[in-house]
Structures are given as structure tokens and as C-alpha cells.
Amino acid sequence: MLLLGLDIGTTTIKAAAYDPDAGRVIALAARPTPTDHPAPGRSEHDPEALWQAVCACLREVAGLAWSETGRSRAGAVAGLAIASLAEAGVLLDAVGRPLCPIIAWYDRRSEPQAEWLERQISEIELHAITGQRAGASFGVSKWLWIREHWPEAASRMATWLPVPNYILWRLTGERSIDLSQASRMLALDQQRRDWSDRILDVVGLRRDQLPQPKPGGTVIGAVIAAAAAESGLPVGTPCVLGGHDHLCAAYAAGAYRPGVVADSSGTAQAVLTVVPGFASTPKMAAAGYACYAHVLADQYILKAGLKAAGGAVEWLARQLAGPAADHLPYDTLLARAAEGVGRRAGPLWLPHLLDSGTPEGDRQSRAALVGMRLEHDAGDIFRGLLESLAFWLRHNLEDVRDLPVWQPIEAVILLGGTTRLALLSQLKADVLGRPVIVPELPEATAIGAALLAGLGAGVFRTPAEAVGSLRYGQTIIEPQPAHVAWYDRLYREVYLSLYAALRETNRRLAGIS
């Protein structure tokens, strides 16, 4: 018996076959996420290309899994669920055909629509309903842009589905949405766990155009014959709701109970923890902290975020490598960066390459590099960015302490692609002044989806039992005492003052732009 977890990410689609008896992934397949760039600054996904890439992954992982286990295909898969990027959605007509490309979650074209929404519903009211503040990435902002710029598609839309639910639609013929993905539509009433009539009325959506939200781990259908022929999955394979990718990864790593903080850092960075219930305050709204439904039933998460974390590291490595480089020189940069740890104060970054994120909540803030001198080199510049990302994490964990739902920290778990940068993980331990845990779960997102599939299929009785089935090692990184005081001083005396010192300058720059 196997569980399949799909991870539809910003750059890569992965399919993992998880064997709960062995407690490990026995087969993995991956394909690039098909992405088009029709104009500068714009990114889209073709729905059919996305479906074909998913099917290619499923066919490959299925073949590998059958070969690994020697089992027949019939009845071998207990369930499948999808963890996915959020906010991006597809418009379907009355017979379920896509009407236009999928606007990528990070595409900024709908910023004017997000600003319009904030003029219709105040920031405080919107956060009190949805647990979030308006932004270009959310589903309703994209819908408003589509209605204005692609009116024919908007007029024919019968259903809006997030990316994972479009794939489930192709697999099962059933419309669906889980509560965590519905939350990223920015139209879900978090206290009622249902669509907000107030928001739907403002943005011009009807309830019948959106599926009824349900918790992750809910069975929504089974693979139909047409999908089986394309995907290689057996007809009748149960399909289960997964959820937002960061949340699925955090669940697999054990962040499904209060007090455990998951720092999930890939292209973007999400810092989240389970909280006892929904909460909204003016401070949360202003800072941009999100509180919304978890992938698990009856749970909420508190989330801080930075839109460019691993993406910022990759960008800087690319700039330092130069246009002629055939690869990014991470090893060289990291070795040179490590030479200055605890010895060279600066340069330091304000890491706001795509606005400030939390806790400043300032969309006009920009990145800055301060404290440069002629003796600094590429390694110093690179180390400065890594240090600043660690400072950003500490700032958020300190800032949320007075929120009504905050729980004392028991453990900090590091997840995502940036954990491959050992220096960054060590800096986070040094800056926090506490151990951090790096699980050996390279496919945590897909595994989280597989565990939700197991919950829906009845393989596991409880979320704890599902996580307990995993067999993996972990690395505990202890703070280095000699560096804790050094970074504490840099954090308090330099980093914390950077935003305020540069705020007005950045606003003037934004005005000129």
C-alpha cells in the first residue's frame, strides 16, 4: 500500500510515493513547472501544459514505485493528495474547460486591483474577515484583473479553481477546494469557515462559482478512466484534499501543535506556527501577519512572511557571478562568507527585495546594502544577506510575542531549499540564540500531502499517527556561544534601526518610480 503526494511548486512539480510501512519515500519524479513570460514582469502557466507535466510525474513515479515494490498497480495506491503553491487559479467554463492562462502567484500585475479592494473594504475589516490584508498575489485580486482585462473569459466563468484543485478536477471530475487554499483566495470568512458574502459582493463573485471549502484530508473523489489513461494511476484511486505547500511541509516536519515554529524558506519565506484559534487585531493587519485555516481540521496557523528569501539569495549569487557564469558559485561564496562570521561587522542588508514582508507591512520598502567599505568583497556582501535573513526571522519571532494567540516557542524547525546553505542555518541558530532543527525531509511538502492522503483514506487515525509513521533523521544545530553576543549586538544596534532610517527615502523613490 502506497500514498502519493504531489508538490506543485513555483519552479518544480514533484510526485512522491510514500510507503507508510517503511516510513520513507520509495520513488520520486520531478518536472519543471511550465511557466510562460508573455511580457516583462508577467508570468503565467498554461493549464494544459501544467496537467501534462503532472501526468508525466505521476506516470514516472508510479512506474518506479511498482518496480520498487513488485506490487501490481491495482489497489496499490491508498490515496493521493496535492500540496501546491497558492493564490494562482484557473477559470473554467460550464463544461470545465480553461478560459485563459493561470496568472502566477508572484505576478504583480494586479496591484492596482488590490489597492482598489482596500478602498472598498478597510484593512482592519478585511483582516477581521479573512485573517489577511490585501495584496496582488491573492485570488480575488487576480480575478478583478481578469474581469477588467479579459472580460470575455470572466463573463463565461462557471468555476474558479486553485491550481491543485484544477488537477483534482482533471483526475476526478469533482470541484473542490481545501480551507487553506480557500484562505488564499482572500474571500473566506475564517470564523465561519465559509465564503464571505461581504467580499463576494464587492468583487463580483457568486457562491456557485466557488466550491464549498473543506478541511485537508477530505476525500473528494476517485481517479476516472480518462485521467487514469493519461496519468498511469489505477481507476478508482482515492483523491484527497491537500493544501497550501508551506503548511503541508510544516505538518510533515511536526509543526502541527502549538509551540513548534516552522521556518519554511524556498523562493519565499513563511514562518508559521499552529495557534489555538482565529485572531485578528489592528496590529496584525498593519504588520501583515496572517491567521487562517491550517491544512488540518479545526486548526489555524499564524504566519509571517518575506516574499524574497531564497529568491533573494539566488538573485545575489547570480549578480556576483556575472552574466558569463555557467553556474552559480554557491560553494565559493559560502566559503568566503564564512571567513568573516563573528569578525566583520558589515556590510548588512535590509532584505526587502519584494517589499518588507512582516512585521513592517510596507509595500514601498526596498532593499538596501549599508556599511560597505573598500575592504569588503563578494563573500562579505553574500554573508551580509544571509545574516539579514536570520535577523528578519528573529525580528518576527520577537514581534509576535504580544499577539493574543501566540504560544511560547518549544522548537524551531528549518525547512525548504535554503537549508542546503549550512551557513544560513547556523546563522539562524546564532542569531536566535537557541538550537534549530533541520529534518532530513528533502521532500517535506510532497510527504505532507501524502500524509493527508493517508488521513483521508483511513490509513492513519490521527495527524500525530501519520507524522509518527515517518522514519527520518534530523540535525540539531546549536548556537555558537562566541557568536551569539556578536550577532545580538548587530541585531539590536544596527538591523532594527535600518527600516526606520530608510523608510522615507524608500517612499520618495517609490513616488519617483
pLDDT in tens, 149-184: 999 999 999 999 999 999 999 999 999 999 999 999
Q: Give residue-wise pLDDT tens across range 119-147.
A: 999 999 999 999 999 999 999 999 999 99
**CB proximity list for 374: less than 8 A, separation 6 or greater:** none
Classify strands 260-265 and 411-415 as parallel, antiparallel or unpaired.
parallel
Are 359 and 432 members of one domain?
yes
Q: Across the strands, what pairs with 4?
A: 17, 80
Are 230 and 264 members of one domain?
no
Mean pLDDT over residues 341-360, rounded?
93
Q: How confident is the model at residue 73 (pLDDT cuts 50, 70, 90)?
A: low
Look at residue 485 and tell me if it is in a domain: yes
C-alpha dihedral over 54, 60, 61, 64, to 10 degrees? 180
Structural domain for 64, as ranges: 2-247
d(CA 243, CA 300): 13
Mean pLDDT over residues 342-367, rounded?
93
- pLDDT for 59: 96
| 3-state SS string for 285-319 | HHHCCEEEECCCCCCEEEEEEECCCHHHHHHHHHH
| 220-229, 259-268, 340-349, 400-409: range with highest mean pLDDT | 220-229
Look at residue 335 and tell me if it is in a domain: yes
Q: Give residue-wise pLDDT tens across range 418-443.
A: 999 999 999 999 999 999 999 998 89
Are 45 and 125 members of one domain?
yes
- pLDDT for 97: 97
Look at residue 286 and tell me if it is in a domain: no
CATH of the domain at 511: 3.30.420.40
Ranges of H-type helices in 417-462: 422-432, 444-457
Q: What is the total count of domains within the chain?
A: 2
Of 105, 109, 86, 111, nearest to 45 by C-alpha is 105
Are 161 and 274 members of one domain?
no
Q: Counting Cβ atoms within 10 Å, is residue 192 exposed (0-12), middle (13-18) or buried (19+)?
A: exposed
Of 134, 240, 104, nearest to 178 by C-alpha is 240
d(CA 46, CA 102): 6
Q: Give residue-wise pLDDT tens across range 246-291.
A: 899 999 999 888 899 999 998 889 999 999 899 999 999 999 999 9
Contact between 265 and 414 under an 8 Å Cβ cutoff? The reply is yes
Of 102, 13, 130, 10, nearest to 60 by C-alpha is 13
- pLDDT for 404: 87
Calculate the alpha carbon distances from 73 to 52, 199, 396 in Å: 21, 45, 47
Are 151 and 175 members of one domain?
yes
Contact between 38 and 14 under an 8 Å Cβ cutoff? The reply is no
Q: Give residue-wise pLDDT tens across range 458-487.
A: 999 999 999 999 999 999 999 999 999 999
Vertex 58, ends 55 and 61: CA angle to 5°? 150
Q: In this model, does residue 50 exceed pLDDT 60?
A: yes
Q: Give residue-wise pLDDT tens across range 297-346.
A: 989 999 999 989 999 999 999 999 988 777 889 999 999 999 999 888 88
Of 62, 185, 92, 77, nearest to 131 by C-alpha is 185
Look at residue 466 and tell me if it is in a domain: no
- pLDDT for 71: 57
Q: How confident is the model at residue 221 (pLDDT cuts 50, 70, 90)?
A: very high
Long-range contacts, stretch 118-123, CB < 8 angstroms, 24+ apart: 120/202, 121/198, 121/199, 121/202, 123/285, 123/286
Look at residue 462 and tell me if it is in a domain: no
Q: Give residue-wise pLDDT tens across range 83-116.
A: 999 999 999 999 999 999 999 999 999 999 999 9
Mean pLDDT over residues 190-212, rounded?
98
Mean pLDDT over residues 479-504, rounded?
96
Asked which of 225, 247, 269 is the last residue of a domain, the reply is 247
Are 266 and 168 members of one domain?
no
Mean pLDDT of the residues in the chain: 94
Q: How confident is the model at residue 68 (pLDDT cuts 50, 70, 90)?
A: low
Residue type at 369?
L
Helices 378-399 and 481-490, packing angle to 10 deg: 80
| Chain CA centroid to CA 248, Å | 9
Asked which of 247, 267, 297 is the last residue of a domain, the reply is 247
Are 198 and 224 members of one domain?
yes
Are 268 and 191 members of one domain?
no
Are 94 and 190 members of one domain?
yes
Look at residue 380 and tell me if it is in a domain: yes
Are 135 and 234 members of one domain?
yes
Look at residue 395 and tell me if it is in a domain: yes
Residue type at 42?
R
Q: Residue for cell digits 463544461? A: 95
d(CA 269, CA 271): 7
Contact between 426 and 338 under an 8 Å Cβ cutoff? The reply is no
Mean pLDDT over residues 200-227, rounded?
98
- pLDDT for 75: 54
- pLDDT for 496: 97
Are 375 and 352 members of one domain?
yes
Look at residue 65 and tell me if it is in a domain: yes
Are 220 and 313 members of one domain?
no
Q: How confident is the model at residue 372 (pLDDT cuts 50, 70, 90)?
A: very high
